[in-house]
Amino acid sequence: MNSPPMAADSRPPFSVLTIVFVAVLGHTALWCGMPVPKWILPIALGLAALLQRPRWPLFEGWPLGLFVLLGAAAITYGAVATLDRSWDGFCTWSLTARHLAAGATLDHPYFANASVYQATRGYPLLQPILLQQAMLWLGERGGRVLFPLLWVLLLLAVQQPLRALGIAARQRAIAIAGLALVPLFLEPGHGSAESGFADLLLALLLTHGAAAIVQQHFGLALCIAFCLPLAKTEGTVHATALLTVATLGKGPRLGAALTIGLLTSLLGWLPMQARLELAPHAFSASNLLSFSLPIGALAWSCAVRQRSTRRATLVLTGVLAIAGLWLQPMLASAWPAAARPLAWSSLGSILGSLAQNLVWVRKFGFSYVVLFAAVVWAWRTRQRSGSPWPTAAPLLALQGAWFLLIVLFLLALPADRLPLFQREGSPRYLIQMIGVLWLCTGLLLKPAPALSEPVLADAPHSDPRN
């Protein structure tokens, strides 16, 4: 049974608004030389409630609801029973949250003294601030309920836009169940929901970003682009990909909203990141390049979208790409990674390992297999009126762009680090798009209207007198 489309809400979801307010208040406190106080969380919840009424999460029928409850219970047990089961989760994210919970400011030796060990200087602070707030209210163990909460919010981030777009309850249930069954988040291993990695938070934000594109939700797009650079180091790249796809697929207004959110975030975050990295200047050449990236992406997307400038823009892009291969040594001072030659000899190995991950049932279940089947199913009806293909196509493009960016990143790695990233990094990079994948799958599963019977010109007309 098809559900009627819900009325469009111009305000972002309550959970997204809460994360935005926590991010703004937490980073502002650090900029002012203050510890991040515990009252930030209730203030953020109150401000979010003023803009959007919180709703109790409801899933499609009691079997799915029970399954989600069991999954959340398993993640909660794993997160609380053993603290920091993963080394990366501890040294990258939880250790910073513990220092913030103890009242550390940016002048604390953990942040300001180069002789104090810190494995990941300059990493974003959004998840540590969220975890710190939960720890201040619920204790060190209780605060880790943040991770099962993020997992449930990820499922809701798929359900809400599907319902708003009128996708039938059966297709919604398939998409939510498929996402809930992804083993990588459920298992007690490297990169799981309970491990404390930020990939779950990033997957949640990206799913909302994809929903903003398909629903053309400007407020949600602004919030997500603001949060992405604060969540993980690759968040800026994700936001740039979102604004590029949004501009090409939906128009420059949505792309501009994403650009404004991203630039606002970078304006406050890049100087703080430079301070955390103990850099001598607030705005380095690399930071300026990061700041100009979304502006250039928006301009490029607008030029490609216009038919009059499309061909010239694409030709110029190809020329610049070829020239960039020759200019790598000259860019070394501004962007060290650009001077490193790409290891094209490893391309086959990289593509093979990524393809293996796509069908790795122990990590991703049958997610990519189902997506491929849904693409084949929807492709047959793409020309029909009411086909789901135009709605889902931007999300397919977003996933394809991210796959290519992963390949380029792995090609740029030194030879001694490539095997580690192929083994442990690739699954975590792919899992960041898992919510987008199942949102796209849910859209593609929508049945296209049947073809109407053609009207025959020589068919006899009925006589009204009969």
**Radius of gyration of the chain from its Cα atoms, rounded to whole angstroms:** 23
Query: Which residue range(s) make up the domain with 418?
Result: 343-448
State whether 141 and 98 are in the same domain.
yes
State whether 396 and 360 are in the same domain.
yes
In a domain, 2, yes or no: no
* Residue 6 clears pLDDT 70, i.e. is over it: no
* Residue 386 clears pLDDT 90, i.e. is over it: no
> Which residues lie below 8 Å from residue 89, measured CB to CB, with a gap of 6+?
195, 196, 197
* Residue 81 clears pLDDT 50, i.e. is over it: yes
In a domain, 54, yes or no: yes
Percent residues over pLDDT 90 in the chain: 58
Q: State the pLDDT at residue 452.
A: 53
In a domain, 458, yes or no: no
Count of structural domains, the chain: 2
* Residue 201 clears pLDDT 80, i.e. is over it: yes
State whether 170 and 223 are in the same domain.
yes
Q: State the pLDDT at residue 7.
A: 45
Bigger pLDDT: 331 vs 459: 331
- 117-145 pLDDT per residue, tens: 888 888 999 999 999 999 999 998 899 99
State whether 356 and 443 are in the same domain.
yes
State whether 152 and 227 are in the same domain.
yes
Tell which residue, 282, 280, 278, has the closest CA to residue 112.
Answer: 278
Q: What is the pTM of this model?
A: 0.91
In a domain, 463, yes or no: no
In a domain, 456, yes or no: no
What is the rounded average pLDDT for all residues in the chain? Answer: 87
Q: Label residue 460 by pLDDT band (50, 70, 90).
A: very low
State whether 128 and 202 are in the same domain.
yes
In a domain, 357, yes or no: yes
State whether 320 and 386 are in the same domain.
no
State whether 414 and 309 are in the same domain.
no
In a domain, 6, yes or no: no
State whether 358 and 306 are in the same domain.
no
State whether 321 and 430 are in the same domain.
no
In a domain, 119, yes or no: yes
State whether 299 and 441 are in the same domain.
no
Q: State the pLDDT at residue 15.
A: 96
State whether 48 and 192 are in the same domain.
yes
Mean pLDDT of 367-394: 89
